[in-house]
Amino acid sequence: DVKVTQSSRYLVKRTGEKVFLECVQDMDHENMFWYRQDPGLGLRLIYFSYDVKMKEKGDIPEGYSVSREKKERFSLILESASTNQTSMYLCASSLFGGVSYNEQFFGPGTRLTVL
């Protein structure tokens, strides 16, 4: 079974803090994704990566950055957290062969609250 794990289920941070969300997958997938999920807005893509050290902006990259130093790990960074970044963050991975024709496997999510 593919397993995508996220470092925290719940996280509370203060405005202005630097926040790291970590994601690890154990199936040697090339593609990794970060989404945020908000009620009524669905899943919105923040960043994705199709290879180590490669990254592409998604639909809402402002205020975020990412890092992929190893194939299995994809980190989302909030340089200076703001209250409007309070959300559920979901990480996903998939095999290579087109970014999305292959099934995306999601982690359980990190619910981030910024006070």
Partner 1 sequence: QQQVKQSPQSLIVQKGGISIINCAYENTAFDYFPWYQQFPGKGPALLIAIRPDVSEKKEGRFTISFNKSAKQFSLHIMDSQPGDSATYFCAASMRGDKLIFGTGTRLQVFP
Which residues in this chain contact partner 1 in the complex, by CB under 8 A? 4, 33, 35, 40-45, 48, 58, 90, 92, 97-101, 103-109
Q: How far is the CB of 52 from partner 1 (least distance, A)?
A: 19
Could you give the strand order of the β-sheet that contains 19-25, starting from the edge strand earlier in sequence?
A: 4-6, 19-25, 73-78, 64-70
Q: How far is the CB of 34 from partner 1 (least distance, A)?
A: 12
| Distance between CA atoms of residues 43 and 40, nearest Å | 9
Q: Which is nearer to partner 1, 17 or 56 (CB)?
A: 56
Q: How far is the CB of 103 from partner 1 (least distance, A)?
A: 5
The H helix count followed by the E strand count for the chain is 0, 11
Six-digit token string for 40: 């009524």
Q: Which is nearer to partner 1, 74 or 106 (CB)?
A: 106
Q: Which is nearer to partner 1, 43 or 52 (CB)?
A: 43
Q: How far is the CB of 71 from partner 1 (least distance, A)?
A: 19
By DSSP bridging, strand 10-13 and strand 110-114 are parallel
Task: Give 108's contacts (C-beta < 8 A, 6+ positions apart).
Answer: 5, 6, 9
Q: Which is nearer to partner 1, 18 or 57 (CB)?
A: 57
